[in-house]
Amino acid sequence: MNRNFADRLCAAVKLRRSHAVVGLDPVLPRLPEFIKREAAAQYGKTARGAAAAILAFNRLVIDAVADQVAAVKPQSAFHELYGEHGVAAFWETVRYARSKGLLVIADAKRGDIGSTAEGYASAYFGHPNPLETWEEPDQWADALTVNPYLGSDGLVPFVRRAEARGTGVFILVKTSNPSSGELQDQPLLSGETVADQVAKLVDSLGERLVGQSGYSAVGAVVGATYPEDLRHYRAEMPRAILLVPGYGAQGGTAADVVGAFNLDGLGAVVNASRSVIYAYPGTDPSPAEAAQAIAGAVEQMNREINSALRAAGKLAW
């Protein structure tokens, strides 16, 4: 597992011929009725029942997409809201995805300094030597999203742990939400924006973690909803893998994300959540209908992105 994360991700992308990442953002009211009925029958309409439903849904999605994508991205918040049972479902989801050959990007957007950052890094990446500490040896994610607002003090502990464990970090640079510019686009005295300064940090921190693929285990989050920014930050961080949210339900298209890729056809993975995991018709599909619709949505996403990359002369295969 200590192999460079960027190398592992690039290899998985090439193997699946897919730049897609499926976001696991399970919202209980939107889950298929058959899943909720089974969970309620076993545990009642309780936090434990909700967590059981979420885990069952995550497994259904993972089974449907495992042969078509390189990675999944479970969002911690949708699990944490059900307390200890939800957190347990999150980690069981991580383990299940890895058992299916997928890389797992934990979307938790952690960020703090000192011993607190070390604690978060341990929580998501584990100890470099699990035999030296009290922890579950298989409780770790392949990568983690990290908030840079506290500066390098809040990033270095995650980067160091990623280097020791062969995991990856995706630092928020230009996010896909409409209000991101309220802070990220603000100019500094240098004339650069706050996001520009974060991009410089990403490039600097990632220099030591460049693998054989030519990419670093320190990546960046840049949203598909800002295509011009994607092109700009692709140039500013040539060695970083860009995690690109905002595809699908948020309005990002295949044409929008082409600028996130280098000329070798690599350097970015594109996340879609709602447009994939809720692709089934209505609220009460059969298990087969739900799985087929989810798989079909990923197939279409792959086809659209690969077609756009081919047209731009950036297809890697």
Q: Which residues are catalytic?
A: 109
286's CB contacts (< 8 A; 6+ apart) are: 34
| Residue among 73, 69, 81, 87 nearest 28 (CA) | 81
Q: How many CB atoms lie within 10 A of CB 304?
A: 18
The terminus-to-terminus CA distance of the chain in angstroms comes to 26
Asked if 176 contacts 250 with a C-beta cutoff of 8 angstroms, the reply is yes
Using CA atoms, how far residue 232 sits from 90, 129, 223, 226, 262, in Å, is: 34, 39, 12, 10, 12
